[in-house]
Structure 1
Amino acid sequence: MFELWSWTLVPGETYEADAHSPGTRELVSVSRGRLVVTVGNQSISLDAGGAIRLLTDSPHSYACVGDEPVEFSMAVLERELNRS
């Protein structure tokens, strides 16, 4: 499964996501504001122009920090589980 998202979060807003299936990858690119991405116990702050590739098969979150909304895009590649 491949998804492409365009998101806006307002200051103080956080989106909590459950773990995806094993091996799921995301590419996140920030176009405005500051985004903090947390996967497991690790967090990274991205400013406008920043991007990161993530393994998101554990709980993760996206948070808007600072005084302005954050705008970012996200591409998600999730491999389907083999179901017998």
Structure 2
Amino acid sequence: MKVQSGGGSGRTTPEFILRVGQRVRSLRRQRNWTVQQLADQADLSRRMLTQIELGQANPSLVTIDRIAAALGTDFAGLALPESPGDAPASVQVWRGEGSSEALLLAATTPADTELWRWTLAPGARYDAQPDKAGAQEIHHVIAGELALVTREASRTLVAGDTTVIFSDQPYSYVNPGETDVVFFRVVSGA
């Protein structure tokens, strides 16, 4: 993902989980791998992988990244439709309380750069796990206030502000305001 595996009170959406499960199964079968072979490659249990393929698990986004890497693809390769002509306007990957959501809008091929649109309701928080070394994110706030918390610092961005962080560390998005915060997120190298 590089959507980065997250926390807070939200979760990946059922539609996203089903799409990823179907895509994982399809790619695994194309390689003539058993569930156990892919589970070993992705460092997961066979049971967890089976539940993911069936759309019955709620895997972290980091887990989806590990499966994608084992299959020789990336997060966007599992999340977005195979054919660009089949692409929906966006893919809702994560949904939290109220209006909180993360939409994957597009990715380059190979997908080392992803474009996301996030909305966080007042008081909402999303805790992200680190990406691989050197990964970065650009954040541009469209409306509201975004507190971006990293190990080194916390900074608050308002509409029109843009910043870059290294995402190879734990970090959080927090809406300290009284209205929704809407921001674009560009992920590179995750």
- Relative contact order, CA 8 A, sep 6+: which one is greater? 1
Q: Tell me what 1:34 maps to.
A: 145
- Structure 1 CA distance, aligned partners of 2:136 and 2:152? 17
Deviation of 1:56 after TM superposition, in Å, equals 1.0
Amino acid at match of 2:121: V
Percent identity of paired positions between Structure 1 and Structure 2: 34
Once the two structures are TM-superposed, the CA of residue 65 in structure 1 deviates from its matched residue by: 1.2
Query: Aligned with 1:65: secondary structure?
Result: coil
User: Cα deviations across residues 20-70 of structure 1 (Å, max 9, x unaligned)?
Assistant: 000001000000000000111411000101010111100001011111000
Which of 31, 39, 58 does residue 169 from structure 2 map onto?
58
Q: Which has the higher strand share?
A: 1
Report the residue type matching 2:134 in the other structure: G
Query: Do residues 16 (structure 1) and 127 (structure 2) align?
Result: yes
Alpha-carbon separation, structure 2, partners of 1:39 and 1:59 = 6
In 1, Cα distance between the equivalents of 2:148 and 2:114? 18
Residue 82 of structure 1 is matched in structure 2 by none
Shift of 1:73: 0.2
Runs of 4+ displaced beyond 6 Å = none
The whole-number CA distance in structure 1 between the counterparts of 2:181 and 2:173 is 10
What count of residue pairs does the alignment treat as equivalent?
79
Which residue matches 2:189? 78
Note the aligned Cα RMSD (angstroms). Answer: 0.9
